[in-house]
Amino acid sequence: MLIGTAIYALINSFILALMAMGFNLTFGISGVANFAYGAFYVMAAYGAWIFTHKAGLPYGVAVMLSIGLTTMGGALMYRFVLMRVRGQTLSEVIATFGMGLAILELFRYMGFVGFEYTLPNLVEGSVFFLGVYVDYQRLLIVAVGALMVVGLWLFTRFTSLGLAFRGIAQDERTALTFGMDPDRIATIAVAFGAGLAAIAAVVIVPLGTISPEEGYDVLIKALAVCIIGGLGSTGGVIAASFLIGFAERFTDAYIGSHWTMIVSLAAILLVLAVKPSGLFGHQKELEERI
Amino acid sequence: MKRFGGRLSLASVICVAVLGTGVMAWAAEPIVLGVPTSLGFLEGKESLRAVKMAVEEINATGGVMVGDEKRPFAVESLDIRDAAPGVPVPDALLGIEKIILEKKPAALLVGPFRSEALLAAMDLIAKHRVPMLGTIAMSPASEAKIKEKPAKYKYIFRLCLNAKYLVKYLAGSMAFIKERFGFDKVYILNQDVAWARKTAEITTQVYFDKAGWTVVGHEAFPTGTTDFSSALMKVRAKGAQVILPIFDMPQSGILVKQWNGMKVPAVMAGFISPLAGPGAWKTFDEKIGGAVNCNFEMGSAISSEKMEQSVEFLDAYEKRWGEPIQAGHGPAPSYESVYVLKEAIERAGSLAPDAVVEELEKTNRTGVMGQIHFDEGHQAVYDINPKTAAVAAVFQWTSDGGRTLVFPPELAAGEIQLPEGLKPAK
């Protein structure tokens, strides 16, 4: 039971890391807290479902198309909505939150609610491991999660675009003097974030169903991970994912399922009270801000 | 003068024609049926379709005889969203009052999903004196209120199964499993909503505790949960032989998929709404073989060859809407509710609420779900013989994607089979 819970907690941690990575990337580079993030996640899942079931496309093609279109959706949102309010934090939050609400409620209005909205596993079967059965889809999530972490690390260190991302993230004005276009980089960052949400959706959704509520749930989880880890910190996202992932599964196993949802929210409150910048965040401390 | 007279004649003809048309239109004034429910959910959507289908059938025969004139039915629906997580009960009540005040319905059909919303709406319905034939919400608490104050709450009826009758069916299935396989250890998993909590509680009290079962664990999951792995590990660790699931949320089908993936050595037998219809096999990647599920009413996504009307209803629905019923709760009683109301109005000879209610209480109709009559709490009586009461249906998913009716015994087409790898205890 203990080992089984630990294995599923590890998987849950990778699920959370995948869910939060795109949100964190966007915020870390462009400074935009994309509150439409959960909506992009759900949009990608519905997209794959629609392309498969309504357009009759092969599942692999539907998934790639959905990821591509969601990424494009992120870029368009920045170009036509966020660029106009760039730098006004409250306006950015309201604009992205409004966009997210509009997308999610549009799906609900169009009747996309029901158990039939789910995606098939990308890999079938399960393996007996340390006394517990684990299905291959969950192992795929771990693999994709690990790949994304390593991939992002390599991307931001060994490619010119990745280095530009880091440059903008470190000091936008100085980066500007080196010829980097902050709006171009921010557009790509928001698009990348949306794309990562889409990748997370197509590997995680086969474990559940697609519903507009899932968008709100994913946003809350991504926020919880990023706030606890420290907004913009990749190491923080990984650490916080493991912290919440293990806390959720062990609460579920040893206290009760109905307490699980409270864990993330309680963790946010606790971290905000003790260390407002998050575990690995670099936000200024209160005395510095004053 | 002649010219003026001609014009007068023409005007007279037009007036007579217009008045005549008006009189004819008045003569055919439709009887409005209000359907306030959660239309975004499968059960709500298909229940509304079933109501519309019954209305079309009745209107095709000329309508409803009210006194000495025939009038058609008309349906007005409103999405009150009470089944969606986070929607407060007062919002659902606003929707119900809106449809009553704006559409002036002669009766309300289907109604709220959540018993919490139905209980709160009872005062509203009593105030406006609109008969309501509910077909989704299941808590017996509404019957208790009707029995306590019959003069006030007499307008509310229920045609679907309630939690007490569901317990009877679940207990019947469990008794069958115990007798056939010798299993006596159960783990209860239910959604954390009123009807499911009550069903789990009553089943434990009136059956498991008295029939020699050991409830080795019991967990409630918030609506929207999609990961049941911890609970399934506990099922294995505690040696449960049977899992009793009680869920009506769309995500609950995932529980069976996980049960299959984790190869949990226990029979899954209970109620999971997404498993009810034929489409579940494909939706859940053909991983639900062996699961035993209770559809709340015969005709709601399942039929019996021994009940011809249930077969005809499912065929007619598929022909009318181009796809089969997938909801195991709602469509059949919603369809029947229109006919029950029609017959009551015709017997009353009026649309006066009190007269209609008086006749609804005398209902004695054989239809899709079997024989329908109401008890003193205005609940349709359910049992296992369709000739004397309405019936539900327990079936098992087979490994090739078929569904075998296993309970009630009078209608069974086969017996419960253990999933692969699971051995009987006796």
pLDDT along chain B (426 residues), means of 10: 51 51 58 94 94 97 94 96 82 93 96 92 95 94 94 96 91 92 95 87 94 94 85 91 91 88 91 92 88 94 96 97 95 98 97 97 97 97 96 94 92 89 82
ipTM score of the complex?
0.77
pLDDT tens sequence across B365-407: 999 999 999 999 999 999 999 999 999 999 999 989 999 999 8
Q: In this structure, how many other beta carbons lie within 10 angstroms of the beta carbon of residue B402?
A: 13
pLDDT at B5: 52
Are residues B199 and B318 located together in one domain of the fold?
Answer: no
Specify if B62 maps to a domain. Answer: yes
Are residues B116 and B170 located together in one domain of the fold?
Answer: no
- State whether A8 and B233 contact (CB < 8 Å): yes
Are residues B182 and B72 located together in one domain of the fold?
Answer: no
Tokens coding B388: 């004397």
Are residues B188 and B281 located together in one domain of the fold?
Answer: yes
The CA distances from residue B133 to B48, B130, B271, B294, B411, in Å, are 13, 10, 23, 22, 27
DSSP SS3 for B389:
coil
Q: Which residue stretches of chain A have pLDDT < 70?
A: 282-290
Specify if B112 maps to a domain. Answer: yes
Are residues B313 and B239 located together in one domain of the fold?
Answer: no
In terms of Cβ atoms closer than 10 Å to its own Cβ (0-12, 13-18, 19+), residue A288 is exposed
DSSP SS3 for B254:
helix
Among B417, B227, B418, residue whose Cα is nearest residue A135: B227
Judging by DSSP bridges, how do beta strands B242-247 and B267-272 pair with one another?
parallel
Q: Residue B267 and residue A25: Cα distance in Å, rounded?
A: 45
Q: In this structure, how many other beta carbons lie within 10 angstroms of the beta carbon of residue A97?
A: 16
Q: Residue B294 and residue B275: Cα distance in Å, rounded?
A: 9
Tokens coding A237: 């996202």
Q: Buried (b) or exposed (e) across A41-62, using 16+ Cβ within 10 A?
A: bbbbbbbbbbbbeeeebeeeeb
Among A132, A208, A137, residue whose Cα is nearest residue B265: A132
Q: Residue B369 and residue A124: Cα distance in Å, rounded?
A: 39
Q: How far is A135 from chain B (nearest CA, A)?
A: 6
Q: Residue B18 and residue B12: Cα distance in Å, rounded?
A: 10
DSSP class of residue B82?
Answer: T
pLDDT at B23: 45
Among B327, B336, B281, residue whose Cα is nearest residue B302: B327
Are residues B220 and B176 located together in one domain of the fold?
Answer: yes
CATH 1.10.3470 given to domain A2-289: yes
Among B341, B383, B386, B339, residue whose Cα is nearest residue B361: B341
Q: How far is A213 from chain B (nearest CA, A)?
A: 8
Domain that holds residue B211: 164-295+392-407
Are residues B282 and B319 located together in one domain of the fold?
Answer: no
* Residues facing residue B395 across a β-bridge: B293, B405
Q: Which residues in chain A touch residue B86, judged by CB atoms under 8 angstroms apart?
A: 213
Sequence ranges of the domains in chain A: 2-289
Q: Which residues in chain A touch residue B192, judged by CB atoms under 8 angstroms apart?
A: 258
Are residues B314 and B276 located together in one domain of the fold?
Answer: no
Helix intervals (H) in B28-162: 42-60, 89-103, 115-128, 141-148, 150-153
Nearest CB partner across the interface for A209, out of B219, B234, B250: B250
Among B390, B381, B378, residue whose Cα is nearest residue B155: B378
Edge-first strand order for the sheet with B292-295 is B214-221, B185-191, B242-247, B267-272, B292-295, B393-397, B403-407
Q: Which residues in chain B touch residue A114, judged by CB atoms under 8 angstroms apart?
A: 41-42, 250
Residues with Cβ within 8 Å of residue B148, at least 6 apart in sequence: none
- State whether A258 and B221 contact (CB < 8 Å): yes
The CA distances from residue B220 to A85, A113, B329, B413, in Å, are 45, 23, 21, 33
The CA distances from residue A148 to A140, A200, B54, in Å, are 12, 10, 55
Q: Which residues in chain A touch residue B85, judged by CB atoms under 8 angstroms apart?
A: 213
Are residues B184 and B240 located together in one domain of the fold?
Answer: yes
Nearest CB partner across the interface for A5, out of B42, B230, B253: B230
Among A212, A11, A253, residue whose Cα is nearest residue B228: A253
- State whether A135 and B231 contact (CB < 8 Å): no
DSSP class of residue A190?
Answer: H
Q: Which residues in chain A touch residue B222, judged by CB atoms under 8 angstroms apart?
A: 257-258, 261
- State whether B85 and A121 contact (CB < 8 Å): no
pLDDT at A162: 87
Helix intervals (H) in chain A: 2-30, 37-53, 59-80, 89-109, 136-158, 160-170, 172-177, 182-204, 212-229, 234-254, 260-274, 286-289
Nearest CB partner across the interface for B226, out of A209, A256, A258: A209
CATH number at residue B172: 3.40.50.2300
Residues of chain A whose beta carbon is less than 8 angstroms from a beta carbon of chain B are 1, 4-5, 8, 12, 108, 111, 113-118, 120-121, 124, 126, 132-133, 135, 207-209, 211, 213, 217, 249, 252-253, 256-258, 261
Specify if B178 maps to a domain. Answer: yes
Nearest CB partner across the interface for A4, out of B192, B233, B279: B233
- State whether B237 and A1 contact (CB < 8 Å): yes
Are residues B149 and B37 located together in one domain of the fold?
Answer: yes
Are residues B181 and B291 located together in one domain of the fold?
Answer: yes
Are residues B127 and B227 located together in one domain of the fold?
Answer: no
- State whether B234 and A209 contact (CB < 8 Å): no
The CA distances from residue B286 to A8, B262, B283, B401, in Å, are 23, 15, 8, 7
pLDDT at B14: 54
Q: Buried (b) or exposed (e) across A204-242, using 16+ Cβ within 10 A?
A: bbbbbbbbbbbbbbbbbbbbbbbbbbbbbbbebbbbbbb
Residues of chain B whose beta carbon is less than 8 angstroms from a beta carbon of chain A are 40-42, 45, 84-86, 192, 219-222, 224-227, 229-231, 233-234, 237, 250-254, 261-263, 273-274, 279-280, 283-285, 326
List the beta strands (DSSP E) in B344-424. Answer: 365-367, 370-372, 393-397, 403-407
Tokens coding A284: 């200024």
Looking at the 3D structure of chain B, how many domains does it have?
Answer: 2
